[in-house]
Structure 1
Amino acid sequence: MIDMTDILVIGESVADVIRQPDGSSVTHPGGSPANVAFGLARLGVGAALLTELGDDEDGALIRNHLEGAGATVLGDGATAVPRTPRATARIRPDGSAEYDFEIGWTLAATRVPLEARHLHTGSIAAFLQPGADAVLGLLADARGDSSISIDPNIRPALLGDHGAAVARFEQLVALADVVKASDEDLAWLYPGQDLAQVLDRIAERGALVVVTRGSQGAMARVGTQRLEVPAVATTVVDTVGAGDSFMAALLTSLHRDGILGAGLREALAAGDVAPHLERAARAAAITVSRAGANPPTSHELQ
């Protein structure tokens, strides 16, 4: 077991099952945090994932997928679950899909299991109880030693009470140095509110805040900097994993520029983030140009 890494990701791994009308099915490794860890490793960053996996075929599929890219999967008795979480999309004859989730999140870890320059979390793991409280506690305890990023990656069907989700998001934002959210995430969290005003309000807490808007590119604020980065023109095959690829590339770029880490918060706030956002946008464009959550390698992103 390693005892340190560049970036530690905390969150769910999910087996994404697609069932066709003819009864055939295929299973892909998924889960937003797992996708981010995979994307980081593909870009050559030392990445580890603290997650929950069952001792089953789905768990083996996900573990092999991550380790094959070079990521470390952390797990012990505290992170084992009876069955690896699943999300099943049943495709109807008209091409639409009906979704069924078999997802729990019961992480009981009380300490960060290894030294990391930076911690990332988000999605289901940041909101679904009882594990979400453990995640919040881990981030709070680690903030003195690591910088922190979050991506809410909202899944309304799994969140329940809207007010509780907003309160938890704002608790996470208070700990974060980098916040990445989609326009759809923020529209769900703050319905009817102006997107730019929401971005400014979050950024006032001191974080680099990035809002992705699909084909409209991304907008960001850090300190007094406000900027927009256009999306990179490409032929879109599907958008699966695009946001996770953007997140992984953004963190990789910030890390390689030497502005991730607990002692570098002022450098992050004062730095020129435009090149990092442009690199992340290119990573997302590569991902949407091919099927599935298939992020770029470091060679492709040069």
Structure 2
Amino acid sequence: MLTVIGEALVDEVLSDTAPKRSHPGGSPLNVAVGVARLGRPVQFVGRYGTDDYGKLIEGHLRENSVLTPLPPDDLPTSVATAVLDPAGGARYTFDLQWRLPSLAAALPRLLDGTTMLHTGSIAAMLRPGADAVLRAVERARPSATITYDPNCRPSIITDVSYAREQAEKFVALADVVKASDEDLAWLYPQERPQDAARRWLSLGPALVAVTSGSKGAWAVAAAGEAHASVPPVTVVDTVGAGDSFMSALLVSLMDLELDGGARRPELARISAADLGAVLDFAARAAAITVSRAGANPPSRAELS
């Protein structure tokens, strides 16, 4: 079982060429849906309200066979407004609430059977919820593979020094880290992304993967480096591309039976060949997602 802890929200997508679209989103939620579509059991631990947007999120998770062990609360459901540029790139603004008051009490049953725990994005940065997420990761680590994607949002977390410190806390606990080259450039403006990724690797993860948009993706591990190119595709928009990459990366590692705390030594010894295959699978998932509107990750059949 894979457990995802993080924010759920509704994306309102605006562009000059189409009417406004509203659909469920949030990086961790998108990862959970992507994992489910690739055929792995997954539960989503996050918050959303009892309002209409919350019902939209709850229905989306249910339709995609994502388990939802925490009920909705009385706060408004969070909203992200994505403004698309002519090339399909998205610029976000947010109106959100992030707190998980019931997480600590629910953790024992939530982690029962969890072999991989994923978090990141706003959930691991914005307090008070971020503190609860960090405690959950610390508790899960002995028995579960920990995965992390900073997915930085400078419009929400404006203090880069705080963001860097917070990211490094999670990197040091993680087995698998994925970031974009834009994340690394914001967090470490004086370093090349390659140097920042290698320094993160030295903090403890088994692998650090970096996405570079149309330039593809690359990763570093103890065995060396691997690269994956992006299949040719017509881009509709880039919403959810990194999340599809993340979910496919996780599923590919699970397919290799490298999930679970007991498999940590084997994951640390992942070969360059297996690392390349994992990256290629993830890059193909992201390419399918950018070929259609919104955060719409592929199924296992589409990737096959």
**TM value normalised by structure 2:** 0.91
Tell me, what secondary structure is at the counterpart of 1:120? strand
Number of aligned pairs? 294
When structure 1 is superposed on structure 2, of 280-289 and 101-110 the one drifting more is 101-110
> 2:111 — aligned with what?
114
Partner in structure 1 of residue 57 of structure 2? 62
Q: Equivalent residues in 2 for 1:183-262 (5 A)?
A: 183-207=181-205, 208-262=207-261
Q: 1:88 aligns with which of 52, 57, 81?
A: 81
% same residue: 47
Assess, with a 3 A threshold, how the Cα gap between structure 1 residues 152 and 67 changes in structure 2: closer, same or farther.
Answer: same
Distance between the aligned counterparts of 2:129 and 2:56, measured in 1? Answer: 23
Equivalent residue for 1:263?
262
Unpaired runs of 5+ in structure 1?
1-5
Q: Which residue is 2:154 aligned to? A: 156
Considering only aligned residues, what root-mean-square deviation do their CA atoms show, in Å? 2.2
Tell me how far apart the structure 2 counterparts of residues 215 and 38 of structure 1 sit (CA, whole Å).
23
Q: Equivalent residues in 2 for 1:94-173 (5 A)?
A: 100-108=93-101, 109-110=103-104, 112=107, 113-115=110-112, 116-173=114-171
5+ long unaligned stretches in structure 2: none
Secondary structure of 2:53's aligned partner: helix
Q: Deviations over 1:37-76 (max 9, x none)?
A: 0000011110100000100111111111111111112214
List per-residue Cα deviations over 1:96-130 (Å, max 9, x = no partner): 98854211201122152232110000100010011
* Whole-Å separation in 1 of the counterparts to 2:90 and 2:228: 32
**Contact between 1:51 and 1:74, CA under 8 Å: does it hold in 2?**
no
> For residues 162 and 139 of structure 1, what CA distance do their matches in structure 2 show?
22
Structure 1 range deviating more: 246-255 or 156-165 = 156-165
Q: Which residue of 1 aligns with 2:277?
A: 275
Distance 1:238 1:22 in 2: 12
Residue aligned with 1:285, SS: helix
User: For 2:203, what is the secondary structure of its paired residue?
Assistant: coil
Q: Which amino acid counterpart does residue 266 of structure 2 have in structure 1? A: A
The 3-state SS of whatever aligns with 2:7 is coil
Q: How far did 1:88 drift?
A: 2.6
Letter in structure 1 aligned against 2:68: V
Structure 1 residues 267, 292: closer, same or farther in 2, change over 3 A? same
Q: Distance in 2 between matches of 1:284 and 1:60?
A: 27
Q: Displacement, 1:292?
A: 1.2
Whichever residue aligns with residue 297 of structure 1, its letter is S
Between Structure 1 and Structure 2, the one with more strand by share is: 1
Q: Is the 8 A contact 1:227 1:274 kept in 2?
A: yes
Alignment partners' CA distance in 2, 1:26 and 1:146: 37
Q: Distance in 1 between matches of 2:89 and 2:222?
A: 43
Amino acid of the structure 2 residue aligned with 1:244: D
Letter in 2 for 1:114: L
Could you tell me which of 26, 30, 37 is aligned with 2:32?
37
Deviation at 1:265, TM superposition (A): 1.1
Distance in 1 (alpha carbons) for counterparts of 2:89 and 2:171: 35
Per-residue CA distance 1:138-184 (angstroms, 9 max, x = gap): 00111111110000111101103211111110000010000000000
Against the structure 1 CA distance between its residues 147 and 81, is the aligned structure 2 distance closer, same or farther, given a 3 Å change threshold?
Answer: farther
Deviation at 1:286, TM superposition (A): 0.8
Tell me if the contact between 2:49 and 2:75 (Cα under 8 Å) persists in the aligned partners.
yes
